[in-house]
Structure 1
Amino acid sequence: MERAPRTSRFPVSGHAVNGAARLTERRNLMKRLLTTTVLAASVALASAGYAAPEDAKNAPTEVTPAQQQSRPGMETPDDMPSTALEESSPDVLMTRGNATLPSGTAIAAGRVIGADVVGPDGKNLGVVDDLVFDANGAAKRVIIADGAMFGFGGKMVAIDFDGTSITRDENDDRMVRIGMTAETLENATEFDKSPLEKTGGELASSYLGREVALATEEDGTGEISDLILDRSGAAKYAVIEYGGRLGVGGNRTAVEFGKLTAARAEEPVKLAMTLDELRQKPAFFYSEEEVPEAGEM
């Protein structure tokens, strides 16, 4: 690239100057230009810093692995149990002997409901009240209860599941991050979930604690204690408790969610499996620490 004549880029005064004086003047001019550029960049960065939270109100909270390391509560390989590192597993459950455990991609709906909701500024905005499923059994919306205790009037707001990031806090409890500020959540339209409560299949809460009718009356009944979702929100398994009396001495296993037969809210969900078939399935545990020794199972 041809350079412009020096006299046009770095004009000097009309009187004669020697080479050293010209060099000094050019250096001074370059310093002034550099200072101006730095100041302009600083102003631009400061403006972007104030605008970012507003722009990210409704955006999904996407983070890179490197960013996860610097954000409290985000799941990282060092934070998760060793068995949860099998991210390449095609399933959300993995087998350990005669036990199944959630893999690193699993989301337990029962532990998301009631979880704290945190905004982009790290402030607590409320708690997760429920999850809304579509006709295919995939969570599409997250219902947030801001609660009167948070100063927003105690209403519920529903946001897209894709706009959330489900992580863990310092106590290893589930936490949900969203890209909405407290002001945006406060001004959002209130959500009424009561019509969904009557259908018996559109809310996560309509499954939790639900009675399960097994193949025959002789097999008795069980109860759904949790739903296991994948990262996209699709329900993959229902955790079934069975065989106990008054909640004592029962067993727990996971069955494919698709094996449940839909029913209205006041009716038991049907499962075409016998009690013996449930007993032959591996027991379900949330972590390796819960798994008893081989002789105790």
Structure 2
Amino acid sequence: MNKLLITACAAALMLPASASAMDMHKDKTKTESSAAVSSEAGIYLAKTSLSAKELLGEGIYGVKGDRIARIDDIVLDANGKADKVVFLSGGVFGFGGTRGALDYKAMTIAYENDYEPVVSVSLSEEGVKSAVEYETTQMNDYSLVSEIIGSKVDLVDGADEDDDAVINDIILSEAGTVEHLIVQESALGSIGAGTKYAVPYSKLTVAQGDGGLVLDMTEEQLEASPVFKASWREQAGADIKKTWEKTKDGASDLKDDVENEIDD
């Protein structure tokens, strides 16, 4: 009987601490700006910054709250700002359907409690079907984020393949402007390995001739760039997990102390 009471006390101790951790995170994210936040450990992104890679494939919800399409791609203009969102509507199990385009600013992007992005537009399913159809007129002109993310880029300090880098992601501000390219050194970047660096979009150019991508940086300049550590969601998850581990340890210690007192 005593052990049941002890376990109940320990559980009661853990629950408020966990809720407190969520409240602390909620207060923290309210004060963050849309710009990248710097720290000695590197850079993580504020709540209003967006990962283009994460947005690809996300569902688009209409005025009735139903899913009416999904994001197929994002079109960037010459100034590095999201201009259009390319969507797919209809189809079965993600295949087929109509490919159309909407102004990027027509989207509203919010985050649920599990930190997943929720994309909505002020259109019905019939309305989105009437949007202008989108056709790619020139492949590999690097106006689509899907063409940029995952692409290998050459650095400017030589033709050595070891100096190649891979674009891991494109980070957008709330207004759709590219804040950073997330770049990893070497071919390991294609599988998500290696250090991630946050570099300006203005450093990216299309090479003359073969039309490949060039990052106007030396290897030394890339390695001197801010290290990208985590998104705000990953940071929040790590903070909550750390708090939860401390709470469990504290509850376990309390349980042991009470049992020792009872035995004595």
Q: Same fold (TM over 0.5)?
A: yes
Offset at residue 119 of structure 1 (A): 0.4
Paired position in structure 1 for 2:226:
282
Number of matched pairs? 212
Quick one: distance in 2 between partners of 1:83 and 1:212? Answer: 36
Unaligned runs of 5+ in 1: 1-76, 292-297
User: Which of the pair has the greater relative contact order for Cα pairs under 8 Å at 6+ separation?
Assistant: 2
Offset at residue 80 of structure 1 (A): 6.5
- Provide the aligned C-alpha RMSD in A: 3.2
Paired position in structure 1 for 2:47:
104
Offset at residue 92 of structure 1 (A): 1.9
Task: Report Cα offsets for 1:145-168 as digits up to 9, x if no partner.
Answer: 113128996011111111110122
Aligned pairs for 1:167-182 within 5 A: 167-169=110-112, 171-182=114-125
Task: Report Cα offsets for 1:161-211 as digits up to 9, x if no partner.
Answer: 11110122454222210001001122333221x2143422x1111111111
Q: 1:253·1:283 contact (CA, 8 Å) conserved in 2?
A: yes
Distance 1:153 1:247, change over 3 A: closer
Aligned pairs for 1:203-214 within 5 A: 203-214=144-155
Aligned-partner SS, 1:231 = coil
Quick one: distance in 2 between partners of 1:111 and 1:152? Answer: 19
Quick one: distance in 2 between partners of 1:224 and 1:124? Answer: 30
TM-score, length basis structure 1: 0.62
Task: Report Cα offsets for 1:71-90 as digits up to 9, x if no partner.
Answer: xxxxxx96966664444x4x
Offset at residue 278 of structure 1 (A): 2.3
Q: Percent identity?
A: 26
Paired position in structure 1 for 2:137:
195
Quick one: distance in 2 between partners of 1:161 and 1:79? Answer: 32
Paired position in structure 2 for 1:54:
none
Offset at residue 234 of structure 1 (A): 1.1
Q: 1:86·1:104 contact (CA, 8 Å) conserved in 2?
A: no
Quick one: distance in 2 between partners of 1:84 and 1:113? Answer: 24
Offset at residue 290 of structure 1 (A): 6.3
Quick one: distance in 2 between partners of 1:160 and 1:231? Answer: 14
Offset at residue 265 of structure 1 (A): 11
Quick one: distance in 2 between partners of 1:171 and 1:122? Answer: 18
TM-score, length basis structure 2: 0.70
Paired position in structure 2 for 1:73:
none
Paired position in structure 1 for 2:205:
261
More deviation in 154-163 or 260-269?
A: 260-269
